[in-house]
Structure 1
């Protein structure tokens, strides 16, 4: 089926222009002015931007954590993502020590099969490195999972030691994968948490006070130095504070291949939300925690000047009633995470582009293009070009709305951004040329999303921006 999108303004990471788009069999086959070709459908995008579909590199769907499971699975989570302008996600596949990596991967395939409404890929958690794991990694990469996650936090749960991190970096360098880290010093956090509980400090605010920015900065610095030593490549997830930004900037200045991601919650919310009365602060418990408000300007500036490069959601939704309230008497039992996936795209446009903090091209780069390049999806995803997948967002840049749990599509009983007024909204969203959202209504199909086999990092690194001096 041929579709023609007319009268819209196409925006990529580098360009902005008016043109028509021809879509055939899910692929963009022509871009031009007043294309004259027989089609099955004409879509009028007058007054709208046409963006490449958003790519969310950081989601946790149907994930067990803290004695419960995230409230959004691959169906509800990807539907919400599509409403928000995201057409591709990369979810985190958790592993257990002693378990074959392929067993964990199959578990995540089973979770997503016949559920996802948009395309998706997996990152793979590495919790240990031994001969069995080292033998499995080449096949994992060959199967299209080309990024590995190492936790430096959550002692006695997910946390790996420095040897595991370093050996993962060395292995990733050898086989062409990108290593990701959750950078917080889990050993220090464990000590601070025990001290707080000993002093009967149990309210949600102590989640933030026992995970101070210093532990994030220290872990980020350590991971970056190990990356330099291994001559490898590193992606630091959910950067929340000035201390971590400074360490990433310093590493990049040395020529290390280090990139950083932040999330919308750190750009618009702050530590005071954890002090809300009646246990409402539990809604804002995630890790790293929200920081003092002044860090927001640091993060925005880092995105603008390229010290941070991408925006993930860290989608990890738990209901306030029945899940978050498991920690009513003990903040350590509050499941960590928040519902973000639906608001990532529009919130960043409203707070970034509309308020003059970033340019329109930077917006596209940060929410889509750079992610596609780093994670082996470009140019199939992340841009609008002949030959690319027709993952497109028809976006009204002037539409105003109020974010609310009453109107969102995530399977969770609260919104992290309740009552926030934003400007800009996806009107229609196409995944590989087929409408998932049409005129703000869901018309997609669970199971239509395809698993993406991603390219090796070493095959795409030259496509990533050139501000880092790549080593041989």
Structure 2
């Protein structure tokens, strides 16, 4: 099957030019100023951008948490992703303390196969326990294409790993070429603050914010980087939300430490005023870390512009308001922590970042696609537009207006964090390995098109057919 995309403005992390793109089956086979071939389908992209498909390295489908499970599975979650221009996601098999790493991975493969994703899916491994010889399973994980860990410094008695486990995981990462992701909050301090709030009768969702202060995040970010430095390992801070936390990352990078960090749209576009909503409405915004005071947003945008923040992920972790969030109706600490996000990432960052001049088009592609692909061993098959790369492509109309709403979203969750916000710029065609999976805001892909993708080690290229990343436009 040949598809020809004509006249689009191709935007990668480094390039910006008008050209045609020829796709054959799953792969980009030619890029030129004008391509004259017989094609099964010709897509006119004149006046639009042609972007590499988004890579979201932080989603939670089917995640068990707080006595329930995230509402999106691998079918609905990946459908939501493609509607918003994301064509690769990385999810998190969650190790129970009595389970091995490979046993955990096998279970998640079973869930993935059962759900039939619409786009390609990779896995990180959430680690809670490395006792009883479990470290010996790490080389097998690498062979299986799972080349990153995630550890939690919060949620005592459930997800939280102690310093010994964190250090051992980081040492294993250094030995085997993995990247360790850290949920950085001081869980002990937070637990004390939560107990005090509840004892004083402060039980509503607004107290989620005050019991998870920015300093608790910043202290844990500093600690995570210090432990990683001792282990000689790279470290990646997930969902960074606070200015002081960003300072610790920037200072580490200035000293030559391999420290990376992501932020998420909820920290760029929402602020702590959401916790002033009446009654239980604020529970929609109980995600972790919480939305911060507004002044943190400009610091995060500067971090994105100057590369102290490497990635915008979503931490898509959706729980329905009508029933799941209400598990904490009388105790905010029992509200499942998480919110939706995978569907609107590109639109929000384009509208609030590019159109306002905070970041360039190239930088938008970098933080949404290219850098996550590089950091997590997917580049150059994913994350760029080059001959030999997967035909994961987004044709994006920069002038198309859309109002974000639960009424039009694809995710199963029953609310939209950005309800009523108008955004300018939206995908018109989304392709995953050459197959059109979304068109004009409608998901047209088929469940089962997506497949598990084995990732290379940290910063290593994903092997495959020859890929020319230095392709130039020819006349």
Return the TM-score normalized by structure 1.
0.96
Cα 1:409–1:137, aligned 2, differ >3 Å: closer, same or farther? same
Q: Matches of 1:214 and 1:69 in 2, distance apart?
A: 29
Alignment of 1:66 onto 2:66:
yes
Residue 82 of structure 2 corresponds to residue 93 of structure 1: no
1: distance between equivalents of 2:439 and 2:185? 41
In the alignment, the residues of structure 1 paired with residue 134 and residue 257 of structure 2 have an alpha-carbon distance, to the nearest angstrom, of 26
Count of residues in Structure 1 that have an aligned counterpart in Structure 2: 461
**Partner of 2:52 in structure 1?**
52
Distance in 2 between residues matched to 1:452 and 1:416, nearest whole Å: 30
Alpha-carbon separation, structure 2, partners of 1:406 and 1:37: 41
The 8 Å contact of residues 51 and 393 in structure 1, kept in 2 or not, is answered as: yes
Mapped contact 2:253–2:259 kept (Cα < 8 A):
yes
Alignment of 1:69-88 (within 5 A): 69-88=69-88
CA distance in 1, matches of 2:306, 2:41: 41
Give structure 1 regions of 4+ aligned residues with deviation exceeding 6 angstroms. Answer: none
Give the Å deviation of 1:278: 2.1
Which residue does 2:347 correspond to in 1?
346
**Offset at residue 109 of structure 1 (A):** 1.2
Contact 2:377 2:459 (8 Å CA) reproduced:
no
Residues of 2 paired with 1:124 and 1:447: CA distance?
Answer: 23
Q: How does 1:282-431 map to 2 (within 5 A)?
A: 282-431=283-432
Q: Any gaps of 5 or more consecutive residues in structure 1?
A: 462-472
Matched residue, 2:162: 161
SS at match of 2:57: strand
- C-alpha separation between the residues in 2 aligned to 1:305 and 1:105? 36
- Are 2:380 and 2:461, in contact at CA under 8 Å, matched by a contact in 1? no
Q: CA deviation at 1:274?
A: 1.5
TM-score when scaled to structure 2? 0.96
Range 417-426 or range 372-381, more displaced: 417-426
CA 109–244 in structure 1, closer or farther in 2 if over 3 Å, else same = same
Deviations 1:130-163 (A, max 9, x none): 2421111110111100000010011111000111
Deviations 1:277-307, CA, capped at 9 Å, x for gaps:
0210000001111110110001001100111
CA offset digits 1:306-352 (Å, max 9, x no partner): 11010110001111101111111110111100011101111111100
Cα pair 1:59 1:89 within 8 Å, conserved = yes
Deviation at 1:235, TM superposition (A): 0.5
For residues 458 and 416 of structure 1, the distance between their equivalents in structure 2, rounded to whole angstroms, comes to 33
Tell me how far apart the structure 1 counterparts of residues 91 and 453 of structure 2 sit (CA, whole Å).
Answer: 11
Deviations 1:404-433 (CA, angstroms, capped at 9, x unpaired): 111111101110011111111011100000
Q: Distance in 1 between matches of 2:221 and 2:302?
A: 19
Change (3 A) 1:33 1:447: same
CA distance in 2, matches of 1:31, 1:93: 38
Matches within 5 A, 1:7-406: 7-113=7-113, 114-406=115-407
- Write the deviation string for residues 253-287 of structure 1: whole angstroms up to 9, x where unpaired: 11110000000000010111012002100000011
Whole-Å separation in 1 of the counterparts to 2:273 and 2:204: 13
SS of the residue corresponding to residue 124 of structure 2 reads strand
CA distance in 2, matches of 1:130, 1:67: 26
Deviation at 1:439, TM superposition (A): 3.2
CA contact (8 A) 1:374 1:460 kept: no
Q: Are the equivalent residues in 1 in contact too, given 2:374–2:459 (CA < 8 A)?
A: no
Partner of 2:466: none
Q: 1: CA distance between counterparts of 2:63 and 2:355?
A: 34
Q: Which residue of 1 aligns with 2:469?
A: none
Cα deviation for residue 210 of structure 1 reads 0.5
CA contact under 8 A between 2:404 and 2:418: conserved in structure 1?
Answer: yes
